[in-house]
Amino acid sequence: MSLPFPSKVFTPFDQLPASDLNEMVANDEALAAGTGFNDNVITYAKLLSTIFSGNITTAANSGTWGGTNYYVNLGGIKLLWGVSDVATVNSGTDKELTVIFPASFFGTVLIPTVNTISNNVSYGTQLLSTIKSYSTSTNTLSVHNFGGGASGNIKISWLFIGI
């Protein structure tokens, strides 16, 4: 869902009518409720890249589906996140994706997470992303398209936290 009134433009020191003020409040309430964002507008990559800008290393994911890994060592707590390239998962099938970590980055992976980012997926398509297996060097993620729609063109985002 997006903001209820996305194209509000004001000039400083203008006197605003009550209707404009009400629309501003509606936008603020949508953001506070978490409903003022389009699906997947905030991804791990965007959020963490903004928070830790300047300290992040970027590398291509050499696993299947490609994409980009971003990683940072925060005094022993290590974060690695990324986004795959687009892949198609046909209705009623599974597709695996591997994420390859930089050499010797993690000693232990404590928290793995994965998220499906839809990209021109037909209405009614149900996708599930899961972590099939993980280690300190390679991780296998799986996406299942339960059907209800045609093939899904998707991306996967991931976040791994370790030491």
Condensed to tens digits (0 to 9), the pLDDT of residues 77-132 reads 899 999 888 888 877 788 888 899 888 889 988 888 888 776 555 555 667 778 88
Residue 36 pLDDT greater than 70, yes or no: no
Q: What is the pTM of this model?
A: 0.64
- Residue ranges and CATH numbers for the domains of the chain are 1-38 (no CATH), 44-162 (2.60.40.3940)
Q: Which residues make Cβ contacts (< 8 Å) with residue 116, sequence separation at least 6?
A: 127, 128, 129, 143, 154, 155, 156
pLDDT at position 67: 92
Q: Average the pLDDT over 39-46 and give the result.
A: 65
> What pLDDT band is residue 42 in, cutting at 50, 70 and 90?
low
Residue-level pLDDT at 71: 92
What per-residue confidence (pLDDT) applies to 24? 81
Q: Quickly tell me which residue has 């925060």 as its tokens.
A: 74
Output DSSP code: residue 147: -
Average pLDDT, rounded, for the chain = 79
